[in-house]
Amino acid sequence: MHPPRLACWILRICVPATERECVEGDFFEEFVLLHAQAPRSVAATWWSLGYVVRSIVPFVQMRLRRIPAVRLVATNVGALLFGAACFTAARSLRIFVLVHVPLRAADRPTLGYVALETLVVLAVAGLGGFIAHQLHAEFTSGRPS
Amino acid sequence: MGDYLAEFEHLVALALVRLGAEAYGMAVRREIVERTEREVSIGSVYSTLDRLERKGLVTSSTSAPTPVRGGRAKRCFRLTAEGEKALARSQRVLEQMAQGLSFEGAD
């Protein structure tokens, strides 16, 4: 008596190599238990397929987490998107300040204008950093998958 | 301030304590399913155990292959001292939050 080949194949593909033997052993053990309870039923076969399909996403996530290149690319793409969002926000605020705050009387920006613009950029960067920190904490904490 | 366990991490840690030396993937999954009556995939269990191990809250060891598992080895998990502290901390927080509340309406 053996679990369905399709289920075994899916497990072999999804599960990280270091966990494969243990996960396949667990699967085999549970399949045998279920099959012993209802030997003539196809329930064990259906159960095994459901068991494997439900585990695909967590195992693939686990596998991706272990590849340094994937983490590096994901971090860089995230940082790029985050930087673009900060830049856009800072530009919008700069335009808003230029239109609504009459600090720039002469052609050369005044000290007050430079200070205010610096303050705006720092505030946006600080807010962005805070949001990034919150997101990081959220994504690295444990959640049921 | 140390780590607090998330809900599923908390369940997995409690299952490890309950199962003791027999805490391996399938046993942990079955323990959670039987006690919480909630369907849990083996992938979620291993993913959580992997995360706890990376945090240093869980440690694992591989046992010898057995025929009942088709000649495959078993990986047993147990909480580290830091894991036990984190579990106690999370449990205490839950109990403190629930203190004085009644849940008569809950099924």
Q: Contact B57/B83 with Cβ under 8 angstroms?
A: yes
Tens-binned pLDDT, residue by residue, of chain A (145 aa): 788 888 889 888 888 888 889 999 998 888 888 888 777 667 778 888 888 898 898 888 888 877 777 766 777 777 778 777 877 877 787 777 777 776 655 556 677 777 777 787 777 777 777 766 666 555 555 444 3
Chain pair A-B, CB pairs under 8 angstroms: 93
Strand partners, B79: B58
> pTM of whole model > 0.90?
no
A142 and B73: CB-CB below 8 Å? no
Cβ atoms of B82 and B5 within 8 Å: the answer is no
Residues linked to residue B66 through DSSP beta bridges, in sequence order: B72
Q: Which residues of A touch B (CB under 8 A)?
A: 14-15, 19, 21-30, 32, 51, 54-59, 61-62, 65, 141-145
Question: Which among B73, B71, B53, B72 is positioned nearest to B63, based on CA atoms?
Answer: B73
Angle formed at CA A7 by CA A5 and CA A10, multiple of 5 degrees: 105
**Residue of B27, B17, B2 whose CA lies nearest to B78:** B17
SS3 B87: helix
